Structures are given as C-alpha cells and as structure tokens.
C-alpha cells in the first residue's frame, strides 16, 4: 500500500506542476505565432483553453486535456489540432499537430510579448506628398452597414482618375495587411499610385477593423456589393475626383469581384486584375492545393489520391444546393472512401478533419466560391482591362487563369486588353525563387517596383489628368 500511495502522490505532484498558464511560439515557415494553454482542474477533471493572440483568438475551448505522469496531451477537435508534450525541468517540450502538419512547440510559464514589427522598406513614411482622408460609406444592399476606408488624392491634379482597391480572400483591412509576415500591399500600392497622379480609395472589408457587418457570413457576391457601394460614394465626390474615370484594382478574390461589378456597371472605366481568376472556384482550389503539395515535396501518389477525393467533394457542393444535404453527402462519401482506403483516408482525413471539412464546404462563402465561374462576368466586361499574374504564383496558376481571362474577354469583344505573365514573381507580386508560401515572410519586398510602374503607366496612358 505504501508503494501505491507514493506513486499516487508522485502523479499528483506532476499533475499539479501542469496547472497554470503555459506559453510558446510556433515557427510556421518563418512566421512566428504565439500559442498559450491555460490548464486548470474542475470537478477532479483537467480542463484547458487555448489562445492564439497573434490571430486575435482567445479562450478557445479544447476537447480534452490528459495528464499521465510527466506527459500532457491536449486535443482541440474544432481546429483539428493536438498538442503532445513532456514536462522537463519546469518546461513542456512537445509537438503541435494540425492538418497533417507537425511543428515543435515548447512551453514555459514565461509569457511571450508580441513581436515588435519593423516597417518594411516600401512602407510609405509620413508626411505624404498628397492628401489622405479617412472616410465612411454605406452599403444599402447589406442593411446599411458602414464601411470605413481611406481616400488619397494627388495634389495639383484637377479631378484625377480614381482606383478602388479590392482585397483577396479572408478578412482584410484597407492595407490588405498580412500581419504574420508584416506586409501591407495596398498601402504600398495606393501610395505609389497617388504619388503618380491617381487617386485611390481602399477600405476595410466588412466586419474588419472599422467596417461594420459580418465577414464570416458573406459570399463573394456580397463583397461585390461593398465595391459597388464604394463606387456610389465616389460619385458624390465630383469635387475631388473624375467620376467618369472610376476604376477597380482587385487582387486574387478581388480579381473576381472587379469583373463581377464591371459586368453590371458600365460606369466602371477600367479594371486591373492582380492574380485574378480565370477558371471556376473548384478548379482554383484543386490547382492551388496540387501546386502547394508539389512545392512541399509530398509524394505524387498522395497528391493524386487527395486530388481525387477533393474533386468528388467539390462535385457534391456544385450539384447540391441544400446545406444539410451537402453535409450528409460529404460524410457519406468520406465514409465510403474510408472503407476502401482506410490508411490513406486516416492520413488525410481524421474524424476532426472531416467535421472541419464539412463545416468549411457547407459555409456560404466556400460553397458560393466553388460554384462561381468568372466567365459569367468576364465575358460581359468591355472596359479597358489589365490582367497580371506572377510566373511563380501557386495560389492562382498563371497559365490557366490568364488564358481563361483572355478567352472570356474575347467573348466580350473587349478591344483594350493587356495580359502579362510576369517572370519570377509570386502571388503577392514579390520577386521570389520558388513562389512557395514559406518565402512570403522572408522576402523584404512588398510589391515589385516594376509591377507598381506597370499598373501606374497603364492607367495614366488611358486616363491621366492635367496638373493645375
């Protein structure tokens, strides 16, 4: 009995050592992401929550917290993630796993301060040689939500042309800021354009920063109404800009939204598509994941298997409009595939991953994106169009998408089209080596100066205004 009692006391001592707040940092392809776990005891059961402060996520519930001697295991099913670690000298050395990715994560009781980010070299420095005005405008088609933005106006230019910047997928502020890698592409782009005689309106996505509304519940078509609201606002500013020279510059998903708006609004004077879409959403996702897997060095057989499953899943989403039935069919398909290929399915699709996938594919944005064909809009665009894509872009494959854009604009009999694949540039239009995601953060350049010059010259060649 004495030995058993000592063992029991020993386990309790170790368990008590786990109680409290633990902090660590993931290194995700060069980007640092802080993670914290808060472990407590409630009704003789260990419980915990997780924070990801750099992503603004605090108090995330975990599914289970298990302590066995010096070993700790935490499961976060909602995220398809796990942490497994061992207590060594008042620290926990372990591994964080999510979506097939395994990363070292060592925890201590010392809280990690947010990294102090230095401005990138291309970030503009105040005072600016132009006027910068914070503005608000209202989207009457979305419950009169207010959207916040910045309007920059060149000095000594009488009613300049004006470009509205439209961000890519995911919640983005007016600078299209990527906080994890400390880049602000739209800040750099708007600064360059305005210094060269082109006014710019950039705005926070709905539900982001100072803008009202819900980003999570919106589709690409909903975001298009935000862009239309920005056009309507600029038409009230005839004192400041030429309302007959309002154009759209869209990056990635923004390069789908721009033609959506221009197809229905002949008042749009021009569009610039930066890594814009020329193939449907399902093909975008398939080609993106295929290229990303190749760059990550994944076995071609595994890529082929995963692609085959994804194609079947996307077909379900395309053909089934009822959300509940979509979820049921996805679960049914994966259950059948699991019986046929148990090892392969378990490697790619854990139970948690399946639930995550069902939720994602059934979401309004994703289901709408998969069903959307850019040709429906590009084939109606008749205004001057510039389409640019980086040669090394793995997110929007250049040859497929630029060719799709070209064919669609031919259907529209558009007589002013410029299409360029830019050598050595990635999805962010940075000079890159492979184009892989892990390069984004280590490249100092925000946008290639050649791209900035190309966009500016193309617009000014068509719409420049005289100095006053």
d(CA 312, CA 337): 11
Q: Using one digit for the tens of pLDDT, what is the confidence trace for 341-369?
A: 766 666 566 666 677 778 888 888 999 99
Angle in degrees, CA 158, 162, 164, rounded to 5: 160
Q: What are the pLDDT digits (tens) for 259-291?
A: 999 999 999 999 999 999 999 999 999 999 888
Least-confidence region, from 22-36, 81-95, 218-232, 418-432: 22-36
- Tokens found for residue 258: 């721009």
Q: Contact at 8 Å (CB) between 414 and 382?
A: yes
Q: Which long-range contacts (CB under 8 A, 24 or more apart) does 352-355 make?
A: 352/75, 352/77, 352/78, 352/79, 352/80, 352/81, 353/80, 353/99, 354/330, 355/77, 355/80
Q: What is the mean pLDDT of residues 23-40?
A: 86
Q: Strand 45-52 relative to strand 130-139: parallel, antiparallel, unpaired?
A: unpaired
Q: With contact defined as beta carbons under 8 Å apart, do 150 and 141 qualify?
A: no
pLDDT at 73 over 60: yes
Each residue's pLDDT tens digit, 98-153: 866 788 999 999 998 877 777 889 999 999 999 999 999 999 999 999 999 999 99
40-67 pLDDT, tens per residue? 988 788 899 998 887 667 788 888 999 9
Residues 198, 460 contacting (CB under 8 angstroms): yes
Asked if 126 contacts 118 with a C-beta cutoff of 8 angstroms, the reply is: no
Residue 77 pLDDT: 74
pTM: 0.80
pLDDT band at 15 (very low <50, low <70, confident <90, very high): low
Strand, coil or helix: 302: helix
pLDDT band at residue 27 under the 50/70/90 scheme: confident
């Amino acid at each position: 009995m004495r030995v058993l009692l000592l063992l029991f006391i020993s386990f309790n001592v170790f368990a008590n050592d786990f109680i409290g707040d633990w902090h660590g940092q993931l290194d995700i392809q060069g980007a640092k992401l802080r993670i914290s776990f808060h472990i407590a005891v409630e009704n003789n059961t260990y419980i915990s929550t997780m924070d990801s402060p750099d992503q603004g996520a605090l108090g995330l519930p975990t599914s289970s917290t298990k302590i066995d001697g010096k070993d700790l295991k935490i499961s976060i099913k909602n995220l398809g993630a796990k942490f497994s670690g061992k207590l060594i000298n008042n620290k926990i050395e372990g591994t964080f796993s999510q979506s097939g990715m395994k990363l070292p994560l060592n925890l201590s009781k010392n809280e990690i301060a947010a990294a102090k980010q230095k401005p990138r070299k291309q970030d503009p420095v105040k005072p600016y040689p132009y006027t910068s005005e914070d503005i608000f405008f209202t989207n009457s088609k979305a419950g009169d939500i207010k959207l916040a933005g910045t309007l920059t106006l060149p000095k000594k230019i009488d009613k300049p042309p004006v470009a509205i910047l439209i961000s890519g997928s995911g919640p983005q502020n007016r600078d299209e800021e990527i906080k994890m890698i400390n880049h602000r592409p739209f800040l750099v782009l708007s600064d360059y354009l305005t210094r060269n005689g082109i006014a710019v309106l950039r705005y926070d996505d709905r539900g982001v920063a100072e803008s009202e509304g819900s980003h999570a519940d919106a589709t690409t078509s909903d975001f298009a109404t935000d862009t239309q609201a920005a056009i309507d606002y600029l038409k009230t500013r005839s004192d400041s800009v030429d309302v007959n020279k309002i154009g759209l510059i869209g990056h990635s998903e923004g390069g789908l939204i721009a033609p959506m708006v221009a197809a229905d609004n002949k008042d749009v004077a021009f569009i610039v598509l930066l890594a814009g879409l020329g193939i449907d959403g399902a093909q975008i996702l398939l080609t993106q994941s295929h290229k990303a897997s190749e760059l990550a060095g994944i076995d071609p057989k595994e890529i082929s298997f995963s692609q085959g499953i994804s194609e079947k899943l996307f077909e379900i989403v395309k053909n089934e409009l009822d959300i509940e039935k979509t979820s049921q069919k996805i679960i049914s398909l994966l259950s059948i595939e699991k019986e046929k290929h148990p090892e392969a399915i378990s490697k790619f699709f854990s139970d948690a991953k399946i639930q995550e996938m069902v939720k994602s594919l059934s979401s309004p944005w994703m289901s709408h994106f998969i069903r959307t064909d850019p040709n429906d809009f590009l084939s109606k665009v008749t205004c001057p169009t510039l389409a640019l894509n980086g040669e090394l872009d793995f997110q929007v494959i250049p040859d497929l998408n630029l060719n799709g854009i070209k064919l669609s604009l031919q259907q529209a009999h558009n007589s002013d089209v410029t299409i360029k694949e830019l050598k050595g540039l990635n999805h962010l239009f940075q000079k890159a080596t492979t184009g892989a995601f892990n390069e984004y953060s280590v490249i100092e350049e925000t946008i290639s100066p050649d791209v900035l010059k190309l966009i500016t010259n193309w617009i000014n060649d068509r719409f420049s205004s005289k100095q006053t």
